[in-house]
Structure 1
Amino acid sequence: MNKLSLIISFITVLILGACKQKQPPADPEIPVNLLKIKAKNVLYYDQYPSTTAALSQVNLLPQVQGAITGIFFTEGTHVEKGQKLFEIDRRIYQDNYDAAVANRKVAEGSLTQAQQDADRYEYLNKYNAVAKQLYDHAVIALQNAQNQLSASGQAVKTAKTNLNYATVYAPFSGTIGFSQVKLGDVVNVGSTILNTISTDDPMAVDFVINEKQLPKFERLQQSKGSAVDSLFTLLLSDNSLYPVNGKISVIDRAVNPQTGSVTIRLVFANPKRMLRVGMSCVVRVHNQEAGPQLVVPGKAVVEQMGEYFVFTAKDSLVNNPKAGADSAKNKISRLFAVQKKVQPGQTIGAGMIIKSGIAAGDRIVVDGVQLLRNGVPITTANKAAPSAGGKGGR
């Protein structure tokens, strides 16, 4: 019986030893890099894809029919208001004008004759020396002659207008494009496009914003006097900065209900004709937020289902496993990762502005974030903190 008890005791010791070995070890410390956040003044821009547009643009259409007999400009150049651009065969319109002028002179002669006859019959009628019917006919003939002269005068105006339409002038100053017709081409009234002309100084730049940003731009439009320098600048397609600053001109009358967006129009002076209609560019809007901002490395920010988080380091006192239970030194300081939800702002290079969720002085994890979860222990041992020249920030 004693022997059996010894065997049972031995087996129990083995089982207890095996169980003790299978107990999970304490959470290992995850090596990280920490960065102490400081508020600082930053310069950044909100950027919007945009397109240049003309404030005024028109297709030149002929008002009379005929063959093109003259082109008096260089394509793709600036033309002035009233400059002669095209000429349509004038001969038939000149002939019609000359004939209308001649008909007006005949009408003037007929009116003179009718006036003389009416005056004569009016005198005779006073003394009953002429038949009443002849007098009435003379008065009617005078009225007809007056109407005929008026009609011939209108015919002269119409012929003159058609003759003037045979020459096409620039309706305003701007840049003219490629001609759609050549010398000798026959053009039709109101259907043949001769060319397109658009204003070039100033130039409009259109871009689209979300309707949530509309109040901000309405305030910018109303407070033109207090706007900062370089509020609206323009990056060209080669990433060069356009040398002239713009100003807000028009906010579209309505929000697009399908996209929840609204179009904003800026105006830029264009004295050197660097901007042309239809160019793709980027509008930069200078930030208006006053005071220092919190900027963290973009790699420190974790996105989860549309929400953004950072991990901060928190000091906590824990039991020292190497000290006895009755030891006065049974507490040690350890770092733990604490997940905090933040509201991100503008991205500036490799950094990101944080609007809320953390404060200046917080230490955030910038390396090793992918291994963390809330509450795990961390260490800066054998890690180089970004701002400490190779020493972990504790």
Structure 2
Amino acid sequence: MKRNYTWLMPAALCSVILTSCGGDQAGQQQQNPMAAAAPVTAYTVKAEEVTGTDTYPGSVVALNEVELRPQVAGYITNIFVQDGQEVKKGQRLYEIDRNKYQASYQQAQANLQSAQANLARAQKDLERYERLAEREAIARQQVDYARTDVQTAQAQVAAAQAQVRNVSTDLEYSVINAPFNGTIGISQVRIGAQVSPGQPVLNTISSTDPVAVDFVINEQEISRFQNLRQGQQPDSLFTIRLTNGTTYPQPGKLIAIDRAIGRQTGTVTVRVQFPNQQRQLVPGMTVNVNVLNQDIGSQPVIPYRAVTEQLGEFYVYTIQADSVVQQNVQLGTRFGASIVVREGLKEGDQIVVEGMQRLRQGAKVQVGGPQGAPAQPAAGR
């Protein structure tokens, strides 16, 4: 008995075709994962009024500061100022026992007077001998001896004058005066202490108004600060914030950039001068120096979380239609959770702020939820 299986062939063929079609579609879906749109949250770039600053740690230094050291030996006999007192230029500060130096000065003066009297006698003798020589009433040799006596007396007067100046200097050094207006520190010696030239440090005096603030910059910033020094400096270009969080009420002025870059650090010191009438700034105080940068006025501001970094460059994902483009940006000043974009974006651009982990160039996206958390207000920064 024969059985006819010809009716099974079309059914088997259709099954193979359907299986093949289904397998191709599944393979295409596996090979093109970008076909599925990634859910993201977007933010529309806005321009905000900002005042951008760069911050550097700095320290307050006195424009003039001198260690007071003795120039002569002796005992401290008087201290004319109190610790921490403000002093004026030329004011007496310390006195070293002057008796010995006064006696030396008086003796030097007496020696000078004696030498001057001897010179006067020798000059009169020379004049008399010269008149006698004109009448040939004296030997020429006697006149020559008289001229030699005058020259010797003149040398003795010069030596006596030098000795007077020497002991006079020692006498002056026995009283130490303030070299400039400023504030004196805590005395390191008391009355009765024995001192010698150069030792010990008696005290330190420093100027108080104005003062300077020193901070360091890296070598890439040198040209910027040189331009600031040579050009017109805005009133609020340099400000400082004290350790208690308050801003010093008066701005500063750039006065110096150090002569060379440190070989070990690659940095250079910058000095800014500040008025200090109220004595709020004390040498050695630590402050933060704020320097205005180019981020001033209306600038594009975005949430910092929208930024990604690759090999030292910064990117954001901009939304174009239903896909994203990786956009290189140059960043500026950061304000908390927000940051200024100097180049790469403009007002009105849409960027991704959430869901970036699943994105790459040209990825399909589906914007959902609110248009991103707004950046913190930048006005008045």
CA displacement, residues 198-241 of structure 1 (integer Å, 9 cap, x when unaligned): 222111222222333333323322322xx434111111222211
Residue correspondence of structure 1 range 295-374 to structure 2 within 5 A:
295-315=301-321, 335-374=322-361
More moved, 248-257 vs 163-172: 248-257
Determine the structure 2 residue equivalent to 1:329.
none
TM alignment of 1:50-89, pairs within 5 A: 50-89=58-97
Distance 2:276 2:50 in 1: 30
Question: 2:52 aligned to 32, 44, 50, which one?
Answer: 44
Deviation per CA, 1:349-385, whole angstroms, max 9, x where unpaired? Answer: 2111112222221111122333433333333435564
Q: Is the 8 A contact 2:115 2:157 kept in 1?
A: yes
> Which of 213, 216, 223 does residue 215 from structure 1 map onto?
223
Structure 1: distance between partners of 2:302 and 2:23: 47
The alpha-carbon distance between structure 1 residues 18 and 103, as it changes in their structure 2 partners (threshold 3 A), is same
Tell me which residue corresponds to 1:265: 271
Give the AA of the match of 1:97: Y
The answer on whether the counterparts of 1:236 and 1:281 sit within 8 Å (CA) in structure 2 is yes
| Greater mean alpha carbon deviation, residues 270-279 or residues 141-150 | 141-150
Is this contact kept in 1: 2:295–2:332, CA < 8 A? no
CA distance in 1, matches of 2:7, 2:356: 57
Q: Secondary structure at the match of 2:101?
A: helix
Distance between the aligned counterparts of 1:268 and 1:379, measured in 2? 55
TM-score, reference length from structure 2: 0.83
Residues 135 and 343 of structure 1: is their aligned pair in 2 closer, same or farther, counting only changes over 3 Å? Answer: closer
Give the superposition deviation at 1:311: 1.5
Q: State the shift of 1:116 in Å.
A: 4.0
CA distance 1:18–1:186, change in 2 (3 Å): same
Residue 248 of structure 1: how far off its partner (Å): 1.5
Which position in structure 1 is the counterpart of 2:363? Answer: 376
Q: Which residue number corresponds to residue 196 of structure 1?
A: 204
Identical counterparts, % of pairs: 42
Q: Is this contact kept in 1: 2:52–2:296, CA < 8 A?
A: no
Q: Is the 8 A contact 1:295 1:351 kept in 2?
A: yes
Q: Which moved more, 1:89-98 or 1:68-77?
A: 68-77
Q: Deviations over 1:20-73 (max 9, x none)?
A: 997658755433321111223321212222222222222223221222222222
The one-letter code matched in structure 2 to 1:250 is A
Please state whether the residue corresponding to 1:73 is helix, strand or coil.
coil
**5+ long unaligned stretches in structure 2:** 375-381
Name the amino acid aligned to 1:344: L
Counterpart residue type for residue 78 of structure 2: G
Tell me, what secondary structure is at the counterpart of 1:41? strand
Conserved 8 A contact 1:296-1:351: yes
- CA RMSD in angstroms comes to 3.2
Which residue does 1:235 correspond to in 2? 241
Gaps of 5+ in 1: 316-334, 388-394
With over 3 angstroms needed to count, the CA separation of the structure-2 counterparts of 1:29 and 1:77, relative to structure 1, is farther
Mapped pair 1:100 → 2:108: yes
Partners of 1:288 and 1:338 lie apart in 2 by 27
SS for the counterpart of 1:193 is coil
Mean CA deviation greater in 67-76 or 106-115: 106-115
Specify the alignment match of 1:318 in structure 2.
none
In the alignment, is the contact (CA less than 8 A) between 1:32 and 1:383 conserved in 2?
no
Under a length normalisation based on structure 1, what TM-score does the superposition of the two structures give?
Answer: 0.81
1:275 maps to 281
Match of 2:252 among 246, 253, 267: 246
Q: Which residue of 1 aligns with 2:378?
A: none
Deviates more, 1:276-285 or 1:187-196: 187-196
Tell me which moved more, 303-312 or 249-258: 249-258
The answer to which structure, 1 or 2, has the higher relative contact order (CA under 8 A, 6+ apart) is 2
CA distance in 1, matches of 2:87, 2:23: 95
Is the 2:50–2:296 contact (alpha carbons within 8 Å) kept by the matching residues of 1? Answer: no
